[in-house]
Chain A
Amino acid sequence: MTSSKRIILAILLAAAHAHAVEFNRDIRPILSDRCFACHGPDNANRQANLRLDVESAAKAKAILPGQPAQSPLYQRLITENKALRMPPAYRGHDPLPSHQIALIKQWIEAGAPWEKHWSFITPQKSSLPATSNPAWVRNPIDSFILARLDREQLKPSPEANKATLLRRLTLDLTGLPPTPAESEAFLNDSSPNAYEKQVDRLLHSPRYAERMAIRWLEAARYADTNGYQSDGVRSMWRWRDWVLDAFRTNMPFDKFTVEQIAGDLLPNATLSQKIASGFHRNHRTNAEGGIVEEEFRSEYVADRVETTATVWLGLTLGCTRCHDHKYDPFTQKEFYQLFAFFNNTPDRGLVYNFGNEEPHIPAPTAEQAARLAEFDKIQHSRESEWARLQPAIAKEQRKFEKRTQIHRNSSLPQHWRPKDAHSVTPQLDVKFDYMDPFTFEAWITPKAPNGVILTKSEDYWEGEGHQFFLHEGKLRLHITRRFTDISLRLETETRVQLNQRQHVAITYDGYRKGAGVHIYIDGKPQPIKILFDELTYPLGPKQPWRIGTGLGPKYEFQGTITAPHVYKYALTPEQVSTLPNEQTLGELAATKFAKRTQAQQNKLRLAFLDQHAPQHIKEAEAALVKARAERRKYFESIPTVMIMADNPTPRETHVLRRGAYDAPGEKVTAAVPAALPAFLQNEPNNRLGLARWLVDRRNPLTARVTVNRYWQMLFGTGLVKTAEDFGAQGEWPIHQQLIDWLAVDFMESGWDIRKIIRTIVTSNTYRQASTVTPALLQKDPENRLHARGPRIRLSAEMIRDQALAASGLLVEKFGGPSVKPYQPEGLWQELSGGKYVPDTGEGLYRRSLYTYWKRTIAPPYMINFDSPTRETCYVRETRTNTPLQALNLMNDPTFLDASKKLAERVQNEPGAPRDRLQRAFQLILGRPPQPAELDVLQTAFHKLGEDYAKVASLLLNLDETVTKE
């Protein structure tokens, strides 16, 4: 805390000091900030075996109630002896300021009464205080605020004028400004509940959901990329849309919590509930080659604990990852007991660089699910049609066989192999990357157990590329990006026959996993042993195809290789079974049905269907193939989302000494900290139980922490300014009875978010004018007492969205994949090499909520205006005021586009330039300009070459434009 901040806090507390000293308000913050680090909860680092965070211990050794002069605590604060003085000078600590020493003296004199830390006591609704002006009190918020103002001898401000109020309300509830028509309707509505009507209209707009969602996305560290090093893309927008839907339908906060923490564990979890559990897959994940997997897996779990603690409990449990907490009653062991709840997911430490990491699920939108059902329906009908045709097909095939047999030497084609086979030559121009399916096949007669069949790789064992070869007689595949850690390697358990001619084939489905590979000898599938299964990254160099070579000199093939072919798809087992068969169709047909092998049967049937079937059968087959392909293609276009899941057998959790992944200590099981209410009986001891515990009525923190964020959202600062810390080091609330009333009311309403926000914005406290007087500024610069309405700069997304909306550029569309609006060229290249390609069309003008968020190079506009980076959970709203923001608003193409569009809008209006300038002003600020303002604008208009776009840009840069008044 800087000295100036201390002064202001002292001013705010001054009135209180005239009254009795309160431990929680006046004493604990001093002890915590100046004493607890050495004399607090941290067992390992406690000095002189003295703790001041526990009443009995403090009174046993350091405090004699009623007698400051006999209390070592007080003596050590005031002693002249520097060696004895606390906090110790020899450690560079300053002495306590005299007003704090006086407070401690006063408190000891009063008997040193102790209180449990305020935020750990279950909140109660206290009776409403009497006030000087009951007529001003619209709801209980006003009682608490006015009672305090009375004590400070301050008066509330008058209600803001209607235009200002509607703009404030509309921005607060929807993130967008009111339209001129909306303003006009409100101004003309003289009914007594005109304002409440607006509140209800806005709270039920989908824009309200968009406005509420963005703060939640920041808390949830939501982004479109993984966040470490190469920062590859992921897809979590279906989770983001779940959040939007939850706010749109006003899902109660308890349900909102349970589904996000443990939706996957709910009985018969729906798709929507599983998607919700993606909350705890939003953390950053690392795909950097060479990392130690467990180091980062532990990191992800710790992130889940810390994020949960910050968002729901307002606790800084990150401190307890390495040691007992220095200020709050939490131990390191308790951190790992919470860790155990989140430590059971199957996700890995080293993730795919591109795309979602398991576990993930297809997450179709309602529209997509409907379309998929149509594809399913078509496919089923094609399949039934195909089944119905089977007798006819059998009959036709018999006819064909007869014909083929009789006309063995006729012009009918006699040979057949599956479609699109490429014969391998060094010039063959067929490329494969790590996600391309393929089939390789060849005839081999090996004379030695080691030798290459086919490669497209660098010419050595660890080389990058594809390698299919014999290793100690076994058929082996390497697909390698980097041998040591980004590679797929497997081999058959069986061996080929040396010195015999045999057919070998291998297929790969393109899904990056060894399980998607099949190897065949003479058309028969062989058992496979997977040796290394980490194909996580695309391949680099272009290598030529080589037959019989490409693994260095030791693996030159000895023997013969004939007829090597590759296919750009994975053949089915049925298809592969036909490859070793070299008979002509005539020969096959001549074999008696009962004597044919399955492979012979397969080949005849596939060849018949492919080449010789009557038209209607060919058409039915083509329709079936098409239906399946289209269904599959559509299915694969459906977005996936990462979700939570628990392993069937829980993973063991240990305390990690110093927080280090490789220093496991005591084994622990899942539990909640002892200083908080007990876990619920009859609830499972897993994430689901934890989620329900978070929103249990006895939990003293969740509701307080949540309503505090809403207060922060509307007033700029929370009732507890440290929105992320409700512990001993957090701010003691100036209005504790108010935050408690709001918290209880929130829970009593069934955790109704819309209702609690309605309560706040319909209070007289919220509706005050935001004008500042010098006296008020002096007394309460941060407006913590609320003797005036909030006047704060708009958040990053609102500034941009407002410009788009006011100009008419905004494209409103609820949800959907992220979009790429303008950003300066080259930002990605200079840091990481990728290229940012802005969208064309509507993607340029969607609300900022939908902007693609690359964590390591976040949208510069958003960061300039103080948006959190989404690398870790962040819940405090901050605002700065910088020259870079000025440049951004003046010269960013988005704002220039908005200026031009605005100019177009007003240019076509009738009237003189002055009228048009007035109109532009009204469109942006929701009020008409005052004459003096219009004069300035008109002069500027002439000086700026009568260019409406320049004036519009100027208007978008006004302080009032970027400020909620």
Chain B
Amino acid sequence: MTRRHLLSIPFLRAAAMGAVLNKPHHTPRAKRVIYLFQSGGPSQMELFDYKPRLRDFANQELPDSVRMGQRLTGMSATQSTFPVVPSKFTFEQRGQSGAWVSELLPHTAKIADELTFIKSLHTEAINHDPAVTFLMTGSQIAGRPSMGAWLSYGLGAETEDLPAFVVMISPGQGGGGQPLYDRLWGSGFLPTRYQGVKFRSVGSPVLYLNNPPEYSREDRRNYLDALGQLNKIKLDQTGDPEITTRIAQYEMAFRMQASVPELTDLSKEPQSTFDLYGPDARKPGTFAANCLLARRLAERGVRFIQLYHRDWDHHGGLPKGLPSRCRETDQPAAALVTDLKQRGMLDDTLVVWGGEFGRTVYCQGRLTKDDYGRDHHPRCFTVWLAGGGVKRGLTIGETDDYGYNITRDPIHVHDLQATILHTLGIDHTRLTYKYMGRYFRLTDVHGNVVKQVLA
């Protein structure tokens, strides 16, 4: 049966907001997630996975004993040579934990003790579309619900004025970057009410939110009053509980027309906020502005907040492109963690930073004195987690001297997904939806919670 028939029954109101779970499977440590997705595959080689010996191997051919027949993308598979290229940027150990963080991320470096770095994440896909789809839906092929849709299906929202799952996108200033796709926040075979709602920096912050200019707020109120009365007449005559739901949804739409502009209006934020997040936070649509909005959404009870920052796909021109992506994201991401902490919200907010795969140790394309590029690398990449239920100042996983293979504690994408759900009190094997005869879940038939990261 569809859920709609439950909606009119008051004691099932929670179900109407999407919570299929009456209570969590275990005590949650986090109430919400802010996922800072860096689209395109940020280079772990330049940012986190420090490999001092690469200077010795520079320009040498990547040994077959390291590559071990690993498949490559069609972009570099036909290259005649695979010269090792060390990071052009320096690393330092940071904070008490001594985590290695690149000079490109000075702000992240300062909060290193708040973070858990996973250097041994690995994935199955080697191209953007399948890899991002895999990370967000647990399957490389389109059609499955996204992580946020699973959460809003499982847990619902903590608010009646805003959606449970919000997405915000910022372009890299280097140009477009890799495309994104609606399916990354889509509901797949779950009912579409669970899909992510995109908050936008141009036009209406939510599609169709703004009334046309000829409507005052009072007009809209009068309009909705009349609409409600007419729908009520219909309800009395037909008895269809779906009408009750519709009346309620129009009222929620009206509330959103007030709550969303209030949310996106940053004018009341003090100067100290902008000092923290950086000047970009005043420019709508930047990663910095979105980080600030993410905090405001978290404060208002949104369950899953996902930011997409584009243009990390540095096949060539890495020494120029990567620093500018870092400049756009480093300060705001660190500020968000700091801000949440200052407000006492970091304890129950899980923040995740990372892309869909890593980048190769060998150079793709032309290697010159000033320029190089790196191809996609699925075998290892680095993400960091902070807050809600995860340890602080921890580094998990190791890779070999080339940063090519994992030598310790491999963590699969499905493991990361299982772990994120775990912090929210969800057993990833038990949040399921029956479709095509099968009980589907975010982690397919795989995934183990990474116990080491749990606080």
A: which residues have CB within 8 A of B?
1-2, 4-5, 8, 92, 227-231, 284, 286, 288-293, 299, 310, 316, 318-319, 326-328, 350, 460, 462, 482, 484-485, 662, 722, 724-725, 727-730, 770-774, 777, 781-782, 791, 793, 824-826, 830-833, 856-858, 860, 863-864, 866, 869, 871-872, 874, 878-888, 890-892, 896, 930, 932-933, 936-937, 939-940, 943-945, 947, 950, 953-954, 957-960, 963, 965
Contacts and interface: CB of A to CB of B under 8 A. Distances in A.
Contacts of A1: 434
A294 B5 CA distance: 46
A833 B197 contact: no
Contacts of A725: 436-437
Interface in B1-38: 1-2, 4-7, 12, 15, 20
11 contacts: A229-B128, A290-B76, A299-B141, A350-B74, A770-B238, A771-B238, A856-B182, A863-B195, A881-B246, A884-B208, A896-B212
Contacts of A773: 239
Given A484-B77, A933-B233, A945-B219, A890 B6 contact: no
Contacts of A316: 436-438
Contacts of B427: 92
A230 B256 CA distance: 33
Nearest to A32: B437
Interface stretch (B97-105, B172-180, B393-401): B172-180
Contact of A781 (B5, B20, B200, B209): B5
A838 to B, nearest CB: 14
Contacts of B226: 936-937, 939-940, 943, 954
A832 B179 contact: yes
A930 B236 CA distance: 13
Contact of A878 (B2, B5, B229, B231): B2
B192 A880 contact: yes
A864 B208 CA distance: 11
Nearest to B308: A831
B129 A833 contact: no
Contacts of B92: none
Interface string B167-193: 001010000101111110010010111
B219 A944 contact: yes
A589 B44 CA distance: 73
B437 A727 contact: yes
Contact of B2 (A484, A662, A782): A782
Given A229-B129, A286-B129, A291 B253 contact: no
Contacts of A860: 207
Contact of A881 (B78, B128, B142, B242): B242
Interface-central residue, B15, B77, B197, B227, by most chain A CB under 10 Å:
B227
Contacts of A965: 238
A284 B429 contact: no
Contacts of B208: 824, 884, 887-888, 890-892
A791 B76 CA distance: 57
B6 to A, nearest CB: 6
Nearest to B221: A943
B365 interface: yes
B262 interface: no
A833 B74 contact: no
Contacts of A793: 242
A293 to B, nearest CB: 7
A831 B128 contact: no
A2 B438 contact: no
Contact of B1 (A5, A290, A880): A5
Nearest to B435: A724
B211 interface: yes
B246 A879 contact: no
B179 A884 contact: no
B191 A878 contact: yes
Interface string B109-124: 0000000000000000
Contact of A825 (B4, B76, B202): B202
A793 B1 CA distance: 15
Chain B interface size, under 10 / 10 to 19 / 20 to 34 / 35 or more: 35 or more
- Judged by DSSP, the binding face of A is loop
A316 B434 CA distance: 12
Interface of B: 1-2, 4-7, 12, 15, 20, 71, 73-79, 126-129, 141-143, 163, 169, 171, 176, 178-183, 186, 189, 191-193, 195, 197, 200, 202-204, 206-212, 214-215, 219-220, 222-223, 225-227, 229-231, 233-235, 237-243, 245-247, 249-250, 252-253, 256-257, 365-366, 375-376, 427, 429-430, 434-438
A887 B436 contact: no
A231 B182 CA distance: 12
Given A5-B1, A484-B75, A886 B253 contact: yes
Contacts of A896: 212
A914 to B, nearest CB: 15
B183 A871 contact: yes
B76 A229 contact: no
Given A286-B127, A857-B181, 5 more contacts: A292-B126, A725-B436, A729-B434, A883-B256, A887-B256
B227 A957 contact: yes
A815 to B, nearest CB: 27
Given A884-B197, A930-B233, A872 B142 contact: yes
A291 B74 contact: yes
B203 A833 contact: no
A326 B434 CA distance: 14
A735 to B, nearest CB: 16
Contact of B437 (A288, A722, A944, A960): A722
A932 B230 CA distance: 9
A965 B240 CA distance: 10
B256 A940 contact: no
B206 A887 contact: yes
A229 B179 contact: yes
A880 B249 CA distance: 11
B13 to A, nearest CB: 13
Nearest to A832: B179
A830 B129 contact: no
B219 A485 contact: no
Interface-central residue, B4, B74, B186, B256, by most chain A CB under 10 Å:
B74
A553 to B, nearest CB: 14
B365 A291 contact: no
B129 A831 contact: no
Contacts of B375: 290
B321 to A, nearest CB: 16
A833 B429 CA distance: 38
A886 B230 contact: no
A316 B143 CA distance: 14
Contacts of A722: 436-437
Contacts of A482: 75
Contacts of B247: 959
Contacts of A825: 202-203
Nearest to B238: A771
Given A228-B129, A791-B238, A891-B208, A484 B78 contact: yes
Contacts of A777: 5, 239, 241
A350 B127 CA distance: 12
A886 B250 contact: yes
B230 A936 contact: yes
Contacts of B438: 316, 319, 326, 729
Contacts of B178: 229
Contact of B207 (A771, A833, A884, A950): A884
Contacts of B129: 228-229, 286, 288
The 6 nearest A-B residue pairs measured at CB: A729-B437, A290-B73, A832-B179, A940-B226, A290-B75, A856-B181
A7 B191 CA distance: 21
Nearest to A953: B223
Contact of A950 (B7, B79, B127, B223): B223
Given A231-B179, A484-B76, A960-B234, A8 B1 contact: yes
A963 B230 CA distance: 14
A880 B241 contact: no
Interface-central residue, B20, B186, B438, by most chain A CB under 10 Å:
B438
